[in-house]
């Protein structure tokens, strides 16, 4: 992970970055291990690993339906 990406993920992009394993080139286990070693803020980690995807995919019940 480039340092610029880590800085941006901790600040401007903290609600935009999503987990992605790049499977089959990188296994999810490897990605998670490498992610855990980064200097990502504690409050940003759950956003990247889960919360941002929930929001992006409207799994939190906030999706609007057209009538």
pLDDT for 61 equals 80
Closest CA to 52 of 64, 42, 63, 44: 44
Residue 20: predicted pLDDT: 86
Which residue from 19, 53, 51, 52 is spatially nearest to 36, judged by alpha carbons? 19
From first to last of its 67 residues, the chain has per-residue pLDDT tens of 899 999 999 999 999 999 887 889 999 899 999 999 999 999 999 999 999 999 999 998 876 655 4
């Amino acid at each position: 992970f480039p340092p610029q990406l880590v800085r941006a993920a901790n600040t401007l992009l903290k609600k935009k970055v999503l987990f992605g394993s790049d499977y089959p080139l990188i296994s999810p286990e490897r990605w998670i291990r490498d992610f855990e070693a980064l200097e990502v803020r504690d409050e940003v980690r759950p956003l990247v690993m889960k919360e941002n995807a929930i929001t992006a995919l409207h799994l939190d019940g906030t999706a609007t339906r057209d009538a």
